[in-house]
Amino acid sequence: MTSDKVVLPTASRVAAPVPLATPGSAFTGLLIAAAVLALGVVGIRDALVDLGAITGSHWISGAFEYVDGLAYQGWMLPAGIAAVVLGLWFVILGLKPRRKTANALVGVVDTWIDPADVAAIASVRVESLTNVRSASSHATRRKLEVKASVTPDGAATAESEIRAVLGNLAQALSPSPRIKIRIQTGERS
């Protein structure tokens, strides 16, 4: 039997997109789309009234006549200012960059890990220590918080052991999260 080298085709690697949060303007866009859809329904209804398919008065022309007949009132200036401020807020939301939702892995190009997965890995690593009975973790991109229940005889060295295990994990992430450790000791029940 001879061994031949198998050459696998190399695929061009496409960069993975950066995981980003939903844009701040998504909800605003949904509301504006619903308003435009409602105006379209009103327009179709008025068209059906024009064609005689349904009976009733025109809503669009009635609205224009109502607005045309308005005179200045005290509430209009504050309402106008509020509308301008709301419009500026919508523009700011539309231009605001989306925030990243995951940490990059150091040394690995285009690879991302979700903070929930970082918390799961941290819990497993801490629970693998000999003096730790149980551990739970919560992580954000910038913070990793671990709560560990340790045996009474391991309480003295538990924090340094946990910090060493989690330090390797934190160094593999960009940005490196701050580590907060809470230790509970007590007898087994």
DSSP state of 172: T
User: What is the pLDDT confidence band of residue 108, given thresholds at 50, 70 and 90?
Assistant: confident
Considering only 8-22, 39-53, 134-148, which range has the smallest mean pLDDT?
8-22
User: Taking 70 as the threshold, does the pLDDT of residue 54 lie above it?
Assistant: yes
Mean pLDDT over 125-137 rounds to 93
Report the CATH number of the 103-185 domain. Answer: 3.30.300.30
User: Taking 90 as the threshold, does the pLDDT of residue 128 lie above it?
Assistant: yes
Domain boundaries, the chain: 26-95, 103-185
Task: Dig out the tokens for 5 from the structure.
Answer: 């080298």
User: Taking 80 as the threshold, does the pLDDT of residue 58 lie above it?
Assistant: yes
| pTM: predicted TM-score of the whole model, two decimal places | 0.68
What's the helix, strand, coil split of the chain in %, to 5?
A: 45, 15, 35
What pLDDT sits at residue 189? Answer: 46
- Residue 29 burial by CB count (10 A; 0-12/13-18/19+): exposed, middle or buried? middle
Mean pLDDT over 132-156 rounds to 92
Please tell me which residue, 108 or 125, carries the higher pLDDT value: 125
Mean pLDDT over 8-25 rounds to 77
Mean pLDDT over 67-83 rounds to 93
First CA to last CA distance, the chain: 63
User: What is the pLDDT confidence band of residue 187, given thresholds at 50, 70 and 90?
Assistant: low
User: Taking 80 as the threshold, does the pLDDT of residue 137 lie above it?
Assistant: yes
